[in-house]
Amino acid sequence: MSDTINYTDWAGEVLDKIRTKLEWVSEKNRHRIPYTTDESGSYDDRSDLTRRWGEADGLDWWTNGFWGGLMWLLYQDTKEEKYAQIARISEEKLSCCFDGFYGLHHDVGFMFLPTAVYDYRLTGREQSRRLGLHAANLLAGRFNPAGGFIRAWNDLPGEDSRGWAIIDCMLNIALLYWASEETKDPRFRQIAMRHADTVMEAFVRPDGSVCHIVEFDPETGERLKSHGGQGFCHGSAWTRGQGWALYGFMTSYRHTGREEYLQTAKRVAHYCMANLTPEGIIPVDFRQPKEPAWEDSCGAAVIAGGLLDLAAHVPEAEQDMYRRAAFRILDALYRTRCDFGPGCDAIVQNCSAAYHADRHHMTMVYADYFFAEALYRLRGGLTDCF
Ligand code: GLY
């Protein structure tokens, strides 16, 4: 089928449906910052200021940038001012997180790139630039020079996490690349590259799969061990983590031109493609048992977006292989895992936060973001956020 498909037209048709749905979803949730939907299909709201800082459902929850990011994608496409206005409601709420400080982790990239930085890139708004630079300074301050890594989280209950770095941070460091480009100060980029180099060395396995969490000695920088994190077990291959690696190494390549990042992205891409089923449905972990067959549509969308970025940066003869794989994933999501109807505020279904989470096959706002972004990458005409 993909031999004859016109990807640009196909992506355009799916994006028409996304726009139609998000027209009413965005009005309904104008003042919220959603993460997931409840039993009635309505989005929740993580922007409750009465929550304590650092609580999973509070304002500093790590996914709180994606609702704004989705609105900025629509704004770019439609030029309708209402999407910019809704995105700014998120941005202004998120700016209050700086007061809480301790609830902010390495995820300031996920929070402020799709909101403040995207706003600044698209509109030149000065106060958004300031928010973005503030967040970049916090992220740079998490760098551990002994191990050459960015610390993931602040203290976790019952864990000494001073030496923990996680694969997800490969997207957050895009905030540092942006800050260097913006200020002409190379320190942010130098930190981002040191972190990416450490990840190449300490996370990526010989077969191209990656670990989720690596623990270093915070004093000496010695690599101590890896942890299974959100995947099936220690040594497994959490699919969204493979996606963060592929997508993130491409982001590092785009910002630096360093060939090793492109080659690493390729290795991770080939690991993912070798494990893709003909149906294109993505499990929570490529090494999970057959049953229960938990899926993660969000990981699928992230991998597809990374493959499309890769396709755009390799010689012509290699491009089709990556685009076909991305199409297989996106087409499977579109045909079998999307809800374009009025019964649910979210579009992408069957997402899982972690293999051992209490809840599976839920909706997650960042799945909608990465699905839409991948489609815009396939169709063309997008200013990148990461
Ligand atoms: N960054 C955490 C996750 O992907 O769930």
195 CB under 6 A from ligand 1?
no
Which distant-in-sequence residues (6+ apart) come within 8 Å of 27 by Cβ? none
If the chain, 386 residues long, is cut into consecutive pieces of 10 residues, what is the mean pLDDT of each piece? Answer: 81 98 98 96 88 75 97 97 98 92 92 98 98 98 98 91 98 98 98 98 98 98 97 97 98 98 98 96 97 98 98 98 98 98 98 97 98 97 92
Pocket test for ligand 1, best of 35, 113, 244, 359 (most atoms within 8 A of CB): 244
Phi, psi of 56 (to 5 degrees): -60, -30
pLDDT score for 352: 98
CB–CB of 204/272 below 8 Å? Answer: no
292: cis peptide before it, omega within 30°?
Answer: yes
168 CB under 6 A from ligand 1?
yes
353 CB under 6 A from ligand 1?
yes
Place of tokens 């090494």: 287
Pocket test for ligand 1, best of 36, 168, 172 (most atoms within 8 A of CB): 168
pLDDT score for 52: 66
Distance 346 CA to ligand 1 centre (A): 18
Distance 353 CA to ligand 1 centre (A): 7
pLDDT score for 1: 47
SS3 99: helix
Distance 354 CA to ligand 1 centre (A): 8
Phi, psi of 238 (to 5 degrees): -55, 120
| Nearest by Cα to 85 from 127, 140, 27 | 27
Nearest residue by C-alpha to atom 2 in ligand 1:
168
Give all strands (DSSP E) within the chain, no chain letters.
143-144, 149-150, 164-166, 213-216, 223-227
CB–CB of 94/115 below 8 Å? Answer: yes
Nearest residue by C-alpha to atom 5 in ligand 1:
353
Distance 184 CA to ligand 1 centre (A): 30
Q: Which two tokens stand for residue 97?
A: 């997180």
Pocket test for ligand 1, best of 36, 62, 66, 246 (most atoms within 8 A of CB): 62
pLDDT score for 204: 98
